[in-house]
């Protein structure tokens, strides 16, 4: 075994050890501007690698317009578009701010975000809430009203429960249980959302919230089957971040898409993005929409696959197949494939359908390039134009080009 190979293997072992040792705890829900480092006034964070307004896809543009309206920086979509065209609203990736967001992923200063601490390492990560309108590019009055309800009603009520608990809510147990209940923690969060709602009920009552807030928020939680996605994403981000910046490690530390480009980051290559055009999703569409309406792959939610959930454990979550298509046998094959491109199995997050084997952790860019097997991601589908809610869901492969570019950069850096 060559010494460079040994050094890489050792670095990768360290990377996955850190990912597996992570202990994500939800400690609060607070306005993004108060907690996200470097998030300034007149700035909107978005999913994926960096992208300028002129290259931004339709759905993400629509979502950014929505945030500008939500913040009151413009009075209508035309006004918001003018500000954005003139560069008067700064656009930066969530990943540059310890944050992630599903689909368009847009976060602006007054939007409350989930604050997750990795108590094993002391780092933090942030994620916005999940809904099926504004983050898909819909900036209608109804979509903005949803953001306002989150800011003024639901988020503060849940936060009151969290503060009542003292020390926050451990997410590791909920994640471990949900993975044994058929959630893959990307598009299917029905078990985790239910367990979360149960865990919050007593603390929210003890917090002494007025009856209308208590009933309104607990009713909202009891009927929001994808609610936990934000916490899963923040938990994934906070778990993988300590594995970044390990010299010689070829482990992927982020996969993110902005609807224009798909980008990955690699531990030993620091914060650099290795990008390729965002791929098209194969999926199923909601009534009234069809394949030609679809935008390209979008969202930071592939942070779930980055830590071994989502498409990587599809075989353990066949309930998702009525949303994204495919058969249980295909799903099992996908999951088996993902073991070929990863470094280790998780010690705590185990899948009953795999005989309680752990989820595959630590995508190794060497293995991806050598086998040609790319990470499989299951994901929602947004419209190609601004102004629409969610239109479907499906399966996508990370582009091989990202991994080839990263391996090239790795070779250049480390020889």
What is the distance between the alpha carbons of residues 35 and 41, in angstroms, rounded to a whole number? 13
For its own copies, the closer of residues 221 and 343 by Cβ is: 221
For its own copies, the closer of residues 130 and 179 by Cβ is: 179
155: nearest Cα among 237, 201, 217: 217
CB of 205 to its own copies, least distance (A): 6
What is the distance between the alpha carbons of residues 71 and 73, in angstroms, rounded to a whole number? 5
Residue 176, Cβ density class (10 Å: 0-12 exposed, 13-18 middle, ≥19 buried): middle
Strand order in the sheet with 169-170: 99-100, 123-127, 112-118, 24-31, 169-170
98: nearest Cα among 274, 236, 260, 299: 236
For its own copies, the closer of residues 110 and 201 by Cβ is: 201
For its own copies, the closer of residues 199 and 382 by Cβ is: 199
Helix locations, 275-399, DSSP H: 303-306, 321-324, 328-339, 365-371
Neighbours of 282 (CB within 10 A): 15
| Dihedral angle of Cα 282, 394, 366, 266, to the nearest 10 degrees | 120
For its own copies, the closer of residues 222 and 409 by Cβ is: 222
For its own copies, the closer of residues 30 and 176 by Cβ is: 176
For its own copies, the closer of residues 215 and 336 by Cβ is: 215
For its own copies, the closer of residues 317 and 391 by Cβ is: 317
What is the distance between the alpha carbons of residues 243 and 266, in angstroms, rounded to a whole number? 9
For its own copies, the closer of residues 274 and 309 by Cβ is: 309
What is the distance between the alpha carbons of residues 135 and 95, in angstroms, rounded to a whole number? 17
Give the interface with its own copies as residue ranges (CB under 8 A). 177, 180-182, 190-191, 194-195, 197-199, 201-202, 205-206, 211, 214-215, 218-219, 221-222, 318-322, 327-328, 352-356
CB of 334 to its own copies, least distance (A): 15
323: nearest Cα among 271, 392, 233: 392
CB of 170 to its own copies, least distance (A): 14
Helix locations, 105-189, DSSP H: 141-149, 155-165, 171-179
What is the distance between the alpha carbons of residues 292 and 385, in angstroms, rounded to a whole number? 11
For its own copies, the closer of residues 148 and 327 by Cβ is: 327
CB of 182 to its own copies, least distance (A): 5
What is the distance between the alpha carbons of residues 25 and 169, in angstroms, rounded to a whole number? 5
Distance (Å) of CA 189 to CA 73, 132, 163? 34, 14, 24
What is the distance between the alpha carbons of residues 110 and 67, in angstroms, rounded to a whole number? 10
* C-beta separation of 323 from 282 below 8 A: no
* C-beta separation of 338 from 295 below 8 A: no
């Amino acid at each position: 075994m060559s010494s460079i190979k040994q050094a890489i293997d050792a670095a990768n072992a360290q990377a996955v050890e850190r990912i597996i040792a992570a202990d994500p705890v939800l400690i609060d829900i607070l306005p993004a501007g108060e907690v996200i480092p470097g998030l300034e006034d007149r700035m909107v964070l978005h999913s994926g690698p960096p992208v300028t307004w002129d290259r931004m896809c339709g759905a993400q543009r629509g979502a950014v317009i929505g945030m500008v309206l939500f913040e009151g920086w413009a009075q209508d979509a035309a006004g918001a578009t003018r500000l954005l065209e003139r560069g008067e609203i700064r656009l930066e990736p969530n990943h540059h701010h310890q944050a992630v967001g599903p689909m368009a992923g847009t976060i602006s200063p007054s939007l409350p975000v989930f604050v997750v601490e990795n108590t094993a390492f002391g780092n933090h990560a942030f994620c916005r809430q999940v809904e099926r309108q504004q983050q898909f590019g819909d900036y209608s009055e109804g979509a903005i009203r949803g953001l306002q309800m989150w800011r003024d009603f639901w988020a503060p009520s849940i936060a009151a429960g969290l503060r009542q608990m003292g020390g926050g809510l451990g997410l590791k147990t909920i994640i471990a249980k949900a993975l044994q209940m058929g959630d893959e923690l990307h598009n299917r969060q029905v078990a985790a959302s239910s367990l979360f709602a149960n865990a919050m009920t007593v603390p929210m009552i003890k917090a002494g919230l007025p009856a209308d807030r208590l009933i309104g928020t607990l009713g909202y939680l009891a009927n929001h089957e994808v609610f936990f996605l934000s916490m899963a994403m923040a938990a994934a981000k906070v778990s993988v971040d300590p594995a970044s910046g390990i010299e010689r490690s070829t482990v992927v530390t982020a996969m993110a898409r902005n609807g224009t480009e798909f980008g990955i980051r690699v531990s030993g290559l620091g914060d650099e993005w290795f990008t390729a055009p965002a791929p098209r999703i194969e999926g199923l569409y909601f009534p009234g929409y069809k394949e030609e309406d679809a935008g390209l792959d979008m969202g930071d939610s592939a942070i779930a696959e980055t830590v071994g959930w989502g498409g990587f454990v599809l075989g353990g979550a066949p309930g998702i197949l009525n949303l994204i298509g495919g058969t249980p046998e295909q799903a099992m094959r996908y999951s088996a494939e993902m073991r070929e491109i990863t470094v280790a199995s998780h010690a705590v997050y185990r899948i009953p359908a795999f005989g309680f084997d752990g989820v595959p952790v630590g995508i190794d860019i060497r293995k991806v390039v050598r086998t040609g097997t790319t990470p499989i991601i299951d994901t929602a589908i947004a419209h190609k134009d601004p102004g629409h809610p969610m239109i479907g869901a499906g399966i996508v492969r990370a582009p091989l080009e990202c991994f080839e570019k990263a391996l090239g950069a790795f070779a250049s850096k480390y020889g």
